[in-house]
Chains A and B, each alone.
Chain A
Amino acid sequence: MKLQKATRCALFAVLELANNPETQLSATDIADKYNISANHLAKVLRDLGRAGLVESVRGAGGGYRFCGNSKRTTLYDLVLLFEDVGEAQQGDGDDGEHTEVGAALGRILNEIDEIAIATLRSITIATLLKTMHWHAERESRGVA
């Protein structure tokens, strides 16, 4: 699955902010860390603000902070804000899908999409951060 640039920016921003809930970070802080465009990220952060996932704090030391529910927000919820990845459907009008071969190919592609969607739906922000910390801890023990 190839995610669009805005989706990747959103995932980086939300996960970075949710991983540091007490800290406010500017768009530039996040953009520098992930080597992405600060201008593009600023637009994405506005969209995330409208979705109730981040909020901006004004003044000295201000920036963005995570304000969503990390145990209830899944990666799928985030992806859906920026991409059209609804339920995989046959009959979306792809070339050749009216043929036997096209329909068979469509079923395989739907299978791949359904697995990807099920995976994204099952991983909350909290779960992803937890597994990230477990992985780091296992690496530090040399067992990853």
Chain B
Amino acid sequence: MSNKTNGEEYLFELDELVIRRASAGDMSAVVDIDQLNTGITKPEYWKDTFVRFGSRSDRFFLVAEDSGEVIAFIIGEMRAWEFGSPPCGWIFAMGVNPNARLKKVGSHMFNVMCECLNKAGADKVRTMLARDDNLNMAFFRSQGMMGGPFIELEMPLD
């Protein structure tokens, strides 16, 4: 943990890049980054996600700021005993502004998230991705993640 600005503690700092917990005021930037990556604008979803994940000690909604501009976000939490799985860290959302790619922002965010989850008691971290989401799949693979012992199953309900 390092500096504080406006009461926000930095979890990571390198030159102009800082990573910290998100605040309510960051949500418009998060909405924009998500829209740039997915093509869908969903402000209510992100507002609700911040309420649920922005203030608990075992849930981590982090943003990366470059020269004062929010350029990326990542969200993770501790989950336990889902079908016998011991406490484990989960990353379930991540987005980097396309203009900020290839600068290791995602790698720094991933590492900080892993540190947070590790301190919260996790010795493993998981995520779930669409098979055809090659961008994120290749990113998480490049961080060292591999196929784990669980398989996602689903069925239509109509």
Question: Is A131 in contact with chain B by the CB < 8 A criterion?
Answer: yes
B contact residues around A114 at 8 Å (CB): 131
Q: Do the beta carbons of B132 and A118 come within 8 Å of each other?
A: yes
- Taking CB atoms, residues of chain A closer than 8 Å to B125 are none
A122 and B132 contact, CB distance less than 8 A = no
Which residues of the partner chain B approach A122 to less than 8 Å between Cβ atoms? 134, 137-138, 141
Query: Can you name the residue of chain A whose Cβ is closest to the Cβ of B137?
Result: A122
Give Cα distance in the complex from A114 to B134, angstroms: 13
Interface residues of B (CB under 8 A from A): 131-132, 134, 137-138, 141-142, 144, 146-147
Counting chain A residues whose Cβ lies within 8 A of the other chain, the interface size class is 10 to 19
Partner pick for B138 among A127, A130, A131, A134, CB 8 A cutoff: A127
Q: Which residue of A lies closest to B151 (CB)?
A: A115
Q: How far is the CA of A143 from the CA of B63 in the complex (A)?
A: 31
How close is A86's CB to chain B, nearest CB, in angstroms?
14
* Known A74-B138, A121-B137; 9 more pairs at CB < 8 Å: A115-B131, A118-B137, A121-B138, A122-B137, A123-B138, A124-B142, A127-B141, A131-B144, A131-B146
Q: Are the CB atoms of A126 and B131 closer together than 8 Å?
A: no
Complex: A123 Cα to B137 Cα, angstroms: 8
Interface flags for A102-135 (1: CB within 8 Å of B; 0: not) read: 0000000000001100110111101100110010
Contacts of A74 in B (CB 8 A): 138
CA distance A132 to B134 in the complex (A): 21
Contact across chains for B137 and A130 when beta carbons are under 8 A apart? no
Instruction: Name A115's closest neighbour in chain B (CB-CB).
Output: B131
B147 contacts across to A, CB distance below 8 A = 119
Residues of A within 8 Å of B146, CB to CB, are 131
| CA gap between A78 and B141 in the complex, in Å | 17
Determine the chain B residues whose CB is within 8 A of the CB of A126 once the complex forms.
Answer: 142
User: Bound complex: CA of A115 vs CA of B129, how far in Å?
Assistant: 12
Looking across the interface, which residue of chain B has its beta carbon closest to that of A124? Answer: B138
Cα-based distance from A127 to B132 in the complex (angstroms): 18
